[in-house]
């Protein structure tokens, strides 16, 4: 994958620090930087896997002499947004060694990332934050969350609609990407916040099952739900973990745009022998599983965590790129310290047909907010009213918050089922 690549010209960060593209010769230094920053030990197999997924043109390192002291990168992505999708920079492998904090390195790397995203025509950037306090100052806001659901094993399956007729099939992971990707794409059409997957991402990440990445669990298995005509309508990836008094099944991914296929897959996990608990991570916060039971406590939410942090890089393109749920005409006073082109007063208009646009205006603002709050609300997962209650949005015209809230609404909560 390295053939024909050239380095960016070296740019001075501060005194002896330099920033440049990742190269084939950086393997050991790259791994050492990630392991120190994330408090982990990356095996050779894991490093090879990630090495094949990284985009060399979008991955950079910062060097102090010959030592890598910071890293960052981005995957070119297509992120589902209400009514469609937009190009997005999937920010990844962001590290700064503790010996080199407070030297402006992360600020410089983010500036480079924003420049590259602009050149690639990406109006959005998204990331999963290892530390929540880092990215707000760069204009990222928490736009999606994920839940961990738990239910007992060895009990009757949840009810499903009458007339549903599905068969279940266990399949090998190898080569399953083309079968599963259409289901993933249908879910992307139902929910905002879901990145598209390339063939390489399916084979090298989703369906990769390295033993040293299972954290002590058994191998990953794939079960597919097929309808009466034999067409795949849902799938789940899962693995078993030894536990006392009985095995725990960990559902890594359950994707079923057909609700009856989804119920069938949950029923599968409820009926596996010798299982004491089923634990599903990365679920949407409005997952309907709880309401499939007469006893709402049969499935419970064990945890909710922040998922995708979203950054609006090009405000007009982001507004035009999503569908709006109601007509709208108001003015936003936007603060953006990192990208001044986004800052100022913008007239936000949405038609009854869902088309949106924004343009600079001299009209008095109805709402005042920073770009991080706008990123949090953009996918419809965080209400502007909630952000105003938290002091992140100021309502200058009575009723403006409610109008924006209605226009941003989506039938289902946005969802980001995987990190990167």
**pLDDT tens string 223-252:** 999 999 999 999 999 999 998 888 999 999
Residues 92-120: tens digit of each pLDDT: 999 999 999 999 999 999 999 999 999 99
Concatenating the DSSP letter of every residue in 318-387 gives HHHHS--SS-EEEEEEEE-SS-GGG-EEEEEEE-TTS-EEEEE--SPPSEEEEHHHHHHHHTSSS-HHHH
Q: Is residue 47 over pLDDT 90?
A: yes
Question: What pLDDT does 7 receive?
Answer: 34
105 is in an annotated binding site: yes
Residue 400 dihedral angles phi and psi, to the nearest 5° = -65, -40
Q: Which CATH architecture is the domain 11-122 placed in?
A: 3-Layer(aba) Sandwich (3.40)
Residue 298 dihedral angles phi and psi, to the nearest 5° = -65, -35
The CA radius of gyration of the chain, in Å to the nearest whole number, is 23
Question: What pLDDT does 13 receive?
Answer: 43
The count of C-alpha atoms lying within 13 angstroms of the C-alpha of 34, restricted to the half-sphere facing its C-beta, is 20
Question: What pLDDT does 373 receive?
Answer: 98
Specify the CATH superfamily of domain 146-306.
Gcn5-related N-acetyltransferase (GNAT) (3.40.630.30)
Catalytic residue among 135, 166, 269, 378: 135
Q: How confident is the model over 1-25, as a mean pLDDT? A: 59
96 is in an annotated binding site: yes
Catalytic (active site) residue 138:
no
The whole-angstrom separation of Cα 240 and Cα 216 is 10
CATH code of the region 314-408: 3.30.1050.10
How big is the CA angle at 207 (ends 284 and 146), to the nearest 5 degrees? 15
Beta strands 275-284 and 247-255 are parallel
Question: What pLDDT does 162 receive?
Answer: 55
Residues 280-335: tens digit of each pLDDT: 999 999 999 999 988 888 899 999 999 999 999 999 999 999 999 999 999 999 99
Question: What pLDDT does 346 receive?
Answer: 98
Catalytic residue among 238, 268, 269, 420: 420
Question: What pLDDT does 161 receive?
Answer: 58
Same fold, 11-122 and 314-408: no
Q: How confident is the model over 14-34, as a mean pLDDT? A: 89
Q: Is residue 354 over pLDDT 60?
A: yes
- 9: CB partners within 8 A, 6+ apart: 20
The whole-angstrom separation of Cα 287 and Cα 305 is 14
Catalytic (active site) residue 420:
yes
Residues 383-411: tens digit of each pLDDT: 999 999 999 999 999 999 999 999 999 99
Q: Are 81 and 133 in contact (CB under 8 A)?
A: no
Q: What percentage of the chain reaches a pLDDT higher than 90?
A: 87
Q: Could you tell me where the DSSP H helices lie in 8-155?
A: 27-38, 44-53, 105-119
The mean predicted confidence, pLDDT, of the chain is 93
224 is in an annotated binding site: no
Question: What pLDDT does 233 receive?
Answer: 98
Question: What pLDDT does 244 receive?
Answer: 85
3-state DSSP call for residue 417?
coil
Residues 256-276: tens digit of each pLDDT: 999 999 999 999 998 898 999
Q: Is residue 364 over pLDDT 90?
A: yes
Q: Is residue 368 over pLDDT 80?
A: yes
Residues 117-140: tens digit of each pLDDT: 999 999 999 999 988 889 999 999
- 313: CB partners within 8 A, 6+ apart: 89, 114, 117, 118, 122, 123, 124, 125, 339, 342
Q: What percentage of the chain reaches a pLDDT higher than 70?
A: 95
Q: Is residue 3 over pLDDT 70?
A: no
Q: How confident is the model over 2-30, as a mean pLDDT? A: 66
DSSP category for residue 204 = I
The residues spanned by each domain of the chain are: 11-122, 146-306, 314-408
Distance linking the first and last C-alpha atoms of the chain: 20
């Amino acid at each position: 994958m390295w053939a024909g690549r050239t380095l960016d010209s070296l740019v001075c960060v501060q005194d002896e620090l330099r920033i440049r593209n990742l190269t084939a010769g950086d393997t050991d230094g790259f791994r050492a930087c990630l392991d120190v920053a994330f408090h982990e030990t990356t095996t050779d197999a894991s490093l090879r896997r990630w090495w094949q997924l990284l985009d060399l043109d979008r991955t950079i390192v910062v060097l102090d002499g010959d030592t890598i002291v910071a890293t960052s990168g981005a995957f070119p992505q297509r992120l589902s947004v209400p009514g469609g999708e937009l190009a997005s920079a999937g920010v990844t492998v962001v590290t700064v060694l503790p010996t080199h904090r407070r030297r402006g390195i992360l600020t410089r790397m983010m500036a480079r990332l924003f420049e590259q995203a602009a050149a690639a025509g990406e109006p959005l950037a998204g990331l999963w934050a290892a530390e929540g306090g880092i990215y707000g100052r760069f204009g990222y806001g928490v736009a999606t969350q994920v839940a961990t659901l738990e239910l007992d094993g060895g009990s009757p399956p949840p009810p499903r609609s009458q007339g549903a007729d599905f068969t279940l099939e266990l399949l090998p992971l190898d080569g399953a990407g083309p079968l599963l990707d259409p289901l993933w794409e249908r879910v992307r059409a139902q929910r905002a916040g879901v990145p598209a997957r390339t063939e390489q991402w399916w084979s090298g990440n989703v369906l990769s099952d390295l033993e040293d990445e299972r954290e002590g669990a058994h191998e990953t298995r794939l079960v597919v739900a097929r309808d009466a005509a034999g067409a795949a309508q849902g799938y789940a990836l899962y693995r078993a973990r030894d536990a006392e008094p009985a095995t725990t099944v960990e559902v890594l991914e359950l994707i079923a745009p057909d609700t009856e296929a989804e119920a069938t897959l949950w029923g599968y996990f409820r009926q596996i022998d010798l299982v004491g608990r089923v634990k599903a991570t990365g679920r949407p916060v409005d997952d309907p599983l709880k309401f499939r039971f007469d006893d709402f406590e049969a499935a419970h939410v064990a945890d909710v965590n922040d998922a995708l942090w979203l950054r609006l890089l090009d405000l007009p393109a982001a507004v035009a790129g999503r569908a709006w749920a109601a007509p709208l005409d108001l003015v936003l006073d936007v603060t953006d310290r990192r990208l001044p082109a986004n800052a100022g007063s913008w007239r936000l208009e949405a038609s009854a047909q869902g088309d949106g646009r924004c343009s600079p205006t001299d009209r008095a603002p109805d709402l005042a907010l920073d770009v991080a709050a706008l990123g949090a609300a953009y996918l419809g997962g965080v209400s502007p009213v909630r952000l105003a209650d938290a002091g992140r949005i100021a309502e200058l015209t009575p009723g403006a918050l409610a109008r924006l809230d209605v226009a941003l609404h989506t039938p289902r909560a946005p969802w980001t089922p995987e990190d990167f």
